[in-house]
Amino acid sequence: MSDISFFFVWINICKIISTLYLKRKVLMETPVEELSIEEKNIAPEKAKAIFEKEFMPHLDAMYNFALRLTNDEDDAQDLVQDTCLKAYRFAGSFEPGTYAKAWLFRILRNNFINDYRKKSRGPSKVEFEWVEQAYVGEEDAEPAFQADLKAETVNDMMGDEITKAIQALPVDFRMIIILCDLEDFSYEEMAKILNIPIGTVRSRLHRARAILKDTLADYARKRGYVADTLSEDGTIF
């Protein structure tokens, strides 16, 4: 067998192995909901063009979301890279004219849930379930408390107090606050990204904000932001 023929045989073996591996990896690791994104073959140049035109402008938003989810810069960079490569692979199934940012955020969120949450330094599922139970009322979603917090207090706060309070939220609450307040997604878009009903989006968002306000009120008391109003009865914080 000539050297050239041997080279082609070798390449073919590699191709078969890698195809089998990728298919197995896709089936084993891709979440059920993501399999609904059909992988359509398109020319690499076309995929690149879609990627640069539709996906690249959202890189900052993707990184910011990834950073809020992982609370770690290296993990956030890995998460964004994996999301970009996956988006490139599925670029054929992206319909130009649809909202690319929501499409990318859905892939990013699925990647996070499947790969990063397992090794996440953030709160565990058990912790989240505990919080969910703690804040689920009978019928109304309104938590039992009303945070003692004023608009002026929030305005006076430094950035790191707000970011710390968001980081302290359980990940599902953190996710919904970022999607809504920072990225301005509609309830319908958030429902698609998170794969939950709109009613759950509404109630989860409401609870997330209630916990956030409670945490900020606690910071404010500890840091003396509300000392003037609370000192009337002689209480010192």
Residues that bind another protein (CB under 8 A): 8, 11-12, 15, 44-45, 48, 51, 59-60, 62-64, 67-68, 73, 77, 80-81, 84-85, 88, 140-142, 146, 149-152, 154-155, 157, 159, 162-163, 166, 177-178, 180-182, 186-187, 202, 205-206, 209, 212-213, 216
Q: How far is the CB of 236 from another protein (least distance, A)?
A: 24
Nearer to another protein, 14 or 134 (CB): 14
Nearer to another protein, 130 or 145 (CB): 145
Do 165 and 216 meet the contact criterion of CB atoms below 8 Å apart? yes
Nearer to another protein, 49 or 134 (CB): 49
Token readout for 71 is 């609370």
Nearer to another protein, 52 or 129 (CB): 52
Q: How far is the CB of 233 from another protein (least distance, A)?
A: 18
Q: Residues with Cβ < 8 Å from 109, sequence gap 6 or more?
A: 69, 175, 193, 194
Nearer to another protein, 19 or 231 (CB): 19
For the CA atoms of 86, 91, 96, 102, the dihedral, rounded to the nearest 10 degrees, stands at -10
- Other beta carbons within 10 angstroms of residue 32's beta carbon come to 7
Q: Is 5 exposed, middle or buried (0-12, 13-18, 19+ CB in 10 A)?
A: exposed
Q: How far is the CB of 63 from another protein (least distance, A)?
A: 4
Do 216 and 162 meet the contact criterion of CB atoms below 8 Å apart? yes
Number of H-type helices and E-type strands within the chain: 12, 0
Do 153 and 226 meet the contact criterion of CB atoms below 8 Å apart? yes
Q: How far is the CB of 47 from another protein (least distance, A)?
A: 8
Q: How far is the CB of 133 from another protein (least distance, A)?
A: 19
